[in-house]
């Protein structure tokens, strides 16, 4: 079932995807060879190009049929890559997409500056849309993401993180960028306020579902599927919804055991497996799945007002796939 959905999406986006890949390469344009190397290391390591595809089809669902959607869509992949580079430095992550993280290969300062460069490239392309509202969306994304990341850093290791605080963190960390891509597509298509708002909401709920699915995969997927070891969030002291919900519902004894397992200095695979059992037992997994499904349902509902078209079908399928995916 899942493979069928994935296959169907891939077939539908293939022609655009090819153009997106070319645009990503052609628009990088660094003057300094080292910048190209560092940026390419991450950019061309098998990203799904979800954000560009969302912008393209958010524009098309609003009737946009000009060719510039492709080049403008890469704004959101550059932005995404910029934040990943900064986040990996901030989190001191070792791997990304199964490869060494950039700051392990090069030193952190160069990676930070390459992130700045990618942000600037995104901006430069955005300025060519001649749509100040798109710039404003990008500015808000960057403000939200940088502050969200600082907030998350500040809350690292906080064992009593509330569901509300978690929602705020993942909104800033993931949803605002996906939301921004969808909204910008509508702005590019010069859509009505209603349509812009609807795609903004679609993007928000999709982003929330997407991150919750990611947080589930961090517990449930294998190292091979993830391209990094599972349980990374926990080891970094980041509490996500499966854990937050389970901690809140655990017996006193199990809560203490779980807290010890989370804060343990050493990673013991058996202990991690036992922790996963608790997440099932106290329904943290189930609860997170349910929440993610709710977001998918809401995301799709915001597409109701649009006429049937290929892009609408695709946006619906992407919403479904966001929580069915295995990577």
User: What is the C-alpha separation between 214 and 325, in angstroms, rounded?
Assistant: 9
State the number of CA atoms in the 13 A half-sphere of 9 facing the CB: 24
Options 22, 153, 223, 309; binder of its own copies; rule CB under 8 A: 153
Q: Kindly provide the b/e burial profile for residues 282-303, where b requires at least 16 CB atoms within 10 angstroms of the residue's own CB.
A: bebbebbbebbeebbebbbebb
Which of 41, 25, 33 has its CA nearest to residue 99? 41
**Nearer to its own copies among residue 31 and residue 252 (C-beta):** 31
Q: Which stretch binds its own copies (CB under 8 A): 84-92, 213-221, 257-265, 309-317?
A: 84-92
Alpha helices in 68-192 (DSSP H): 69-73, 75-91, 102-105, 108-127, 132-154, 163-170, 176-188
Q: Classify 100 as helix, strand or coil.
A: strand
How many residues at the interface with its own copies, by CB under 8 A? 45
Q: Classify 99 as helix, strand or coil.
A: strand
Options 54, 138, 191, 299; binder of its own copies; rule CB under 8 A: 138
Least distance in angstroms from the C-beta of 298 to its own copies:
24
Least distance in angstroms from the C-beta of 225 to its own copies:
28
What Cα–Cα distance (Å) separates residue 46 from each residue in 17, 43, 227? 12, 8, 11
113 forms part of the interface with its own copies (CB under 8 A): yes
133 forms part of the interface with its own copies (CB under 8 A): yes
101 forms part of the interface with its own copies (CB under 8 A): no
User: What is the C-alpha separation between 16 and 225, in angstroms, rounded?
Assistant: 26
Least distance in angstroms from the C-beta of 105 to its own copies:
14
43 forms part of the interface with its own copies (CB under 8 A): no
Tokens of 142: 């960057």
93 forms part of the interface with its own copies (CB under 8 A): no
233 forms part of the interface with its own copies (CB under 8 A): no
Options 41, 121, 245, 300; binder of its own copies; rule CB under 8 A: 121
**Nearer to its own copies among residue 108 and residue 220 (C-beta):** 108
Q: Give me the residues that bind its own copies (CB under 8 A), please.
A: 30-32, 34-35, 86, 89-90, 108-110, 112-114, 116-117, 119-121, 123-124, 126-133, 135-136, 138-143, 145-147, 149-151, 153-154
């Amino acid at each position: 079932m899942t493979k069928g959905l994935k296959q169907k999406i891939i077939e539908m986006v293939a022609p655009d995807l090819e153009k997106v890949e070319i645009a990503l390469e052609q628009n990088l344009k660094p003057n300094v060879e080292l910048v190209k190397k560092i940026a390419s290391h991450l950019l061309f390591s098998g990203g799904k190009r979800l954000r560009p595809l969302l912008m393209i089809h958010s524009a098309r669902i609003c009737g946009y049929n000009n060719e510039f959607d492709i080049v403008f869509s890469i704004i959101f992949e550059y932005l995404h890559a910029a934040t990943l580079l900064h986040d990996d430095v901030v989190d001191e992550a070792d791997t990304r997409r199964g490869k060494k993280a950039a700051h392990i290969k090069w030193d952190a300062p160069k990676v930070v500056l390459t992130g700045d460069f990618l942000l600037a490239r995104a901006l430069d392309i955005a300025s060519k849309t001649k749509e100040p509202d798109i710039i404003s969306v990008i500015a808000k994304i960057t403000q939200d993401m940088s502050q969200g990341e600082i907030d998350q850093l500040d809350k690292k290791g906080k064992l009593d993180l509330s569901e509300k605080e978690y929602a705020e963190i993942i909104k800033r960390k993931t949803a605002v960028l996906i939301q921004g891509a969808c909204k910008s597509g509508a702005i590019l298509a010069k859509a009505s306020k209603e349509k812009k708002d609807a795609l903004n909401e679609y993007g928000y709920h999709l982003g929330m579902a997407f991150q919750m699915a990611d947080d589930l995969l961090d517990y449930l997927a294998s190292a091979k599927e993830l391209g990094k070891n599972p349980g990374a969030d926990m080891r970094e002291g980041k509490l996500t919804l499966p854990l937050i919900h389970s901690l809140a519902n655990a017996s006193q004894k199990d809560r203490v055991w779980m807290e010890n397992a989370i804060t343990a200095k050493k990673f013991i695979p058996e202990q991690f497996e036992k922790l996963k059992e608790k997440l099932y037992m106290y329904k943290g997994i189930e609860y997170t799945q349910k929440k993610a499904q709710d977001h998918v349902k809401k995301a799709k509902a915001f597409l109701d007002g649009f006429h049937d078209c290929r892009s609408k079908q695709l946006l619906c399928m992407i919403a479904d796939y966001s929580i069915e995916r295995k990577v």
